[in-house]
Structure 1
Amino acid sequence: MASAVLLLGACAGDPPPSIPAASTATPGPSTSGGVEHSANARLVANVPLSAPFDGEEAWGTDLAFQGNYAYVGNYEGFTIHDITDPAKPKVVTRVVCPGGQNDISVTGNLLFLSVDEPRDNETCQSRRGDMDAGWEGIRIFDISDKTHPRYLKSLATACGSHTHTLVPGKDAEKVYLYVSSFGPSPDSKTCKPPHDSIAIVEVPVGDPAQAKIVAQPVLFTDGDDESQPGATSGCHDITVYPEKDLAAGACLGNGILMDISDRVRPKVLQEITDTENFSVWHSATFTNDATRVIFSDELGGGIAPTCDAKTGPTRGADAVYDITGDRKLQRRGYFKIPRHQTETENCVAHNGSLIPVPGKTIMVQAWYQGGVSVIDFTDPDHPKEIAYVDRGPLTTSGEPRLGGSWSAYYYNGYIYSSDITKGLDVIAIDDPLTDPAKSVKLDKLNAQTQVSYPE
């Protein structure tokens, strides 16, 4: 669940980095309605942003799914879409509740939003508040009536909540949220350094109004010293794999692997750095068998044009790591989209998820104005793109504009992309490599809460 970071070295014993050869999606490119795409993928529907989400900063953010509904975060609130017919999605409701960036997850009748900007109060009527003392954190909604979601409760968290990860409890009575945040300042009243921790929120499913912060575990020991490789001031995103009792954290200076067998006492198994290539460790995705994890680097914080020849193929990219038998991370190859973008297009690796193809590791991923890419990671040393959809630049001259695909996830036969300025895109993919996924049916998807699919 992850999200743009508007922020305006290698491990000992690792093998040499695998530099991907230039590759192109097969079969070749086509253009339909001004959208460039590989012949095996096409845009089949779009629901544009509309009032009240039609302001200059009403940017679309992350996605979650449940049954026949898609939930899309927005800096101004969130939208619920009926996707019973994916080719004809319908807006059920748009809920106004401003707060950057409204990272989103759902479970049962509950919906959670992350707020990572100070507000003058915790309600949906709030305005931007004092940078040093405003409210920011988690908001909880009851979505039992999809047409009229009901605001239930909020919890303030230290340094806000840039993203959060839904973590099922060991029984069905509780769920947890791992709250990732960063950006401490010595002058702040609510976010002082060091901030080397996450907040853990416990939510009783039967009585969510009793939700509370139950732990603030420190994950790193570098304290205030940010000069060392791997030093971090917080995590950007965490992906959990509850069946395996594992979590992978993407933090500002490094990536981590954690044991979460005790949900409120996560244990760091290893920290890794890649100071030569990775700048902002942004997100993580496990392979279905949890033998590897794919980390992404959000070089430039999501607002820079990094998909060019100058930046190269290993920066602002994905990196594949093996999880060894003793639960250590060992780097394999890198992947970056092979199409160079223009200097007006913000483009870098962003949010994605596995496409549930038995026996293979295939992932769909957003690249902002670089579009939506489908990547085969089955050979971890030589990942390759097999499909893409690219809307092209928002502008070709003058000042760059923030836009493109924030999140792209596969859900029950289609790819759904939350475009920052264009709204919800629905993409069909027809390819022998991905077609087996169409038989896998899910009843929900929070991309940072992985569940296994049949091999």
Structure 2
Amino acid sequence: MIFAKVRGAALCAAVLLVSACAASPEQPAAAPPTQQPSTQPGTPSSSLPPGQVKTSDNVKLVTNVPRAAPLNGADDWNTDLAFQGDYAFVGNFGGFSIYDISDPTAPKTVSQVACPAQQNDVTVHGDLLILSVDEPRSGEGCDSTDEERAWEGLRIFDISDKKSPKYVSSVATACGSHTHTMVPKNDKLYVYVSSPGPEPDSKTCPPPHKLLQIVEVPVSDPKSARVVAAPDIPIKGAEEGSVGCHDITAFPEKNLAAGACFGDGVLLDIADPVNPKLLQQISDPENFQIWHSATFNNDATKVLFSDELGGGGAPTCDAKTPATKGADAIYDLVDGQLQKRGYFKIPREQQESENCVAHNGSLLPVPGKDIMVQAWYQGGVSFVDFTDSDNPKEIGYFERGPFDGEGGIAGSWSAYYYNGYVYSSDIQLGLDVLEITDPLTDPAKQVKMDDFNVQTQKTY
């Protein structure tokens, strides 16, 4: 999501880390809502009643865990997800939550941390959790406010005790951090920071601005984390306006990264993670407005880019919007160069009140197949088979009718596959757990992941 949103007052501002404000660690998951009879992909959904769940025959909603205090205010939108062992970590504009998912059918809240800031894109590495802050605030701490534009960047937490995460340090980055990507290399952890800019006369985002910044986080001494590089990457058109990427996905074992850099896609050589080299820049002005994210297939022979037409707040899954806009584009990687193939967009028309566009998703570890699960805001969650790059197709879906509460912006922000289930971070309604049972996807259930950060891909 890229549109600006003014944050309200900090929740539990007097307390940096709140187990006291958190829901009970033993809070049970809510029972799944009643589902309508399943339908096949391609069925129009414009008449789906508010809140009503609909799925394809092969997908079911296992359970839902609603947002809870202190992260359930009007401005506390659920955002991104990360996983480690039996835990799921869910970002939120108000902070982040940790859930015990050892039983995926009944996740339990372990702790919640009130640390307000826009985005709070989340990753985990060992005992460290990192949050992206894309909002100038009065200071680096969780007790900061949005009343002074003095600091933005990364916040780092110690999560060795999941019941009581501890704030460790922060790193200020130019124009903040909209998203970030971990690139482990030997015994070091590098973090690629993505942010748009510059903003003239800004304290935190002055010109000039680089495509990305690189933070080194010493795992044994995270307090000494610092920006170690802001490489000069020769992007055509950078002189015409905003510079920066929305999202970068790294594939360290392949020495590759793919960046969705707002107006363009880029392919990078990251053999030296502190000195990435531009391999290719691609554009698609006829179809793509905001290059939002990138996903490699399992052997890094393809990249699926998504377009967040309208910035996440517009109803672009309607009959008025072409199927190539606000969609996915599949590129084959041939002799080191990206070649455009087909497009994919969910085939169900959404109502004019439903913000809907391609958003965050992840690959399913299915040998010999290219299958992805993806969030579409109020368009729900879609499973797409892009094995045939020219003819990607939906093989399953989950969605609800329009959100009828306050705020208007709703739906699935991120939907990721992890150890047999899909976890969907719903902006307004909390954590959804989904399951797909299908001959195409069942082989993924044989793969055991120890951790998962979607922007740092591995071969499975």
TM-score by shorter chain over 0.5 = yes
1:202–1:214 Cα contact (<8 Å) kept: yes
User: Is 1:404 aligned to 2:411, yes or no?
Assistant: yes
Mean CA deviation greater in 198-207 or 182-191: 182-191
Measured against aligned partners, the alpha-carbon deviations of 1:118-175 in whole angstroms (never above 9, x if no partner) come to 11011011110334xx210000000000000010000100000000001111x1x210
| Match among 421, 426, 447 for residue 414 of structure 1 | 421
Aligned to 1:182: 196
Structure 1 residue 34: Cα displacement = 2.5
Aligned to 1:361: 370
Q: Supply the distance in 1 between the matched residues of 2:40 and 2:178 (Cα, whole angstroms).
A: 34
1:361–1:376 Cα contact (<8 Å) kept: yes
The 5 Å alignment of 1:107-146 reads 107-131=125-149, 134-146=150-162
> Partner of 1:235: helix, strand, or coil?
coil
List 4+ stretches of structure 1 deviating above 6 A.
Answer: 26-29
Q: Supply the distance in 1 between the matched residues of 2:44 and 2:85 (Cα, whole angstroms).
A: 34
Aligned to 1:312: 322
Q: What letter matches 2:210 in structure 1?
A: D
> Partner of 2:343: helix, strand, or coil?
strand
Measured against aligned partners, the alpha-carbon deviations of 1:355-393 in whole angstroms (never above 9, x if no partner) come to 111100000000000000000000000000000000121
2:256–2:268 Cα contact (<8 Å) kept: yes
1:414–1:427 Cα contact (<8 Å) kept: yes
User: Is 1:202 aligned to 2:216, yes or no?
Assistant: yes
> Partner of 2:239: helix, strand, or coil?
coil
| Unmatched tracts of structure 2, length 5 or more | 6-38
Aligned to 2:20: none
User: Is 1:155 aligned to 2:171, yes or no?
Assistant: yes
Aligned to 1:443: 450
Q: Supply the distance in 1 between the matched residues of 2:199 and 2:44 (Cα, whole angstroms).
A: 49
Q: Supply the distance in 2 between the matched residues of 1:53 and 1:205 (Cα, whole angstroms).
A: 29
Q: What letter matches 1:150 in structure 2?
A: K
Measured against aligned partners, the alpha-carbon deviations of 1:2-46 in whole angstroms (never above 9, x if no partner) come to xx11158xxxxxxxxxxxxxx9529999x9993000010011111
> Partner of 1:103: helix, strand, or coil?
strand
User: Is 1:274 aligned to 2:284, yes or no?
Assistant: yes
1:26–1:387 Cα contact (<8 Å) kept: no
The 5 Å alignment of 1:217-228 reads 217-222=231-236, 225-226=239-240
Q: What letter matches 2:437 in structure 1?
A: D
> Partner of 2:349: helix, strand, or coil?
coil
Q: Evaluate the alpha carbon distance shift between residue 149 and residue 351 of structure 1 in structure 2; reply closer, same or farther with a 3 A threshold.
A: same
| Match among 332, 338, 342 for residue 329 of structure 1 | 338
Q: Supply the distance in 2 between the matched residues of 1:93 and 1:304 (Cα, whole angstroms).
A: 33
Aligned to 1:235: 245
Q: Evaluate the alpha carbon distance shift between residue 129 and residue 264 of structure 1 in structure 2; reply closer, same or farther with a 3 A threshold.
A: farther
User: Is 1:192 aligned to 2:206, yes or no?
Assistant: yes
Structure 1 residue 232: Cα displacement = 4.7
Aligned to 2:3: 6
Measured against aligned partners, the alpha-carbon deviations of 1:213-252 in whole angstroms (never above 9, x if no partner) come to 10011324457632xxxx7521100000001000000011
Q: Supply the distance in 2 between the matched residues of 1:353 and 1:224 (Cα, whole angstroms).
A: 29
Q: Supply the distance in 2 between the matched residues of 1:406 and 1:344 (Cα, whole angstroms).
A: 17
| Match among 345, 353, 357 for residue 348 of structure 1 | 357
Q: Supply the distance in 1 between the matched residues of 2:40 and 2:389 (Cα, whole angstroms).
A: 17
Structure 1 residue 199: Cα displacement = 1.1
Q: Evaluate the alpha carbon distance shift between residue 429 and residue 28 of structure 1 in structure 2; reply closer, same or farther with a 3 A threshold.
A: farther
Q: Supply the distance in 2 between the matched residues of 1:235 and 1:284 (Cα, whole angstroms).
A: 11
Q: TM-score, with normalisation over the residues of structure 2?
A: 0.89
Measured against aligned partners, the alpha-carbon deviations of 1:166-214 in whole angstroms (never above 9, x if no partner) come to 1111x1x210100000132222132123423211001111111111110
The 5 Å alignment of 1:48-67 reads 48-67=66-85
| Unmatched tracts of structure 1, length 5 or more | 9-22
Q: Supply the distance in 2 between the matched residues of 1:336 and 1:68 (Cα, whole angstroms).
A: 33
> Partner of 1:117: helix, strand, or coil?
strand
Q: Evaluate the alpha carbon distance shift between residue 310 and residue 194 of structure 1 in structure 2; reply closer, same or farther with a 3 A threshold.
A: farther
Q: Supply the distance in 2 between the matched residues of 1:280 and 1:376 (Cα, whole angstroms).
A: 23
Aligned to 1:19: none
Q: Supply the distance in 2 between the matched residues of 1:233 and 1:211 (Cα, whole angstroms).
A: 24
- Aligned residues between the structures: 424
Q: Evaluate the alpha carbon distance shift between residue 309 and residue 161 of structure 1 in structure 2; reply closer, same or farther with a 3 A threshold.
A: same
1:27–1:38 Cα contact (<8 Å) kept: no
> Partner of 1:99: helix, strand, or coil?
coil
Q: Supply the distance in 2 between the matched residues of 1:218 and 1:304 (Cα, whole angstroms).
A: 34
Aligned to 1:167: 183
1:345–1:400 Cα contact (<8 Å) kept: no
> Partner of 2:379: helix, strand, or coil?
coil
Q: TM-score, with normalisation over the residues of structure 1?
A: 0.90
> Partner of 1:243: helix, strand, or coil?
helix
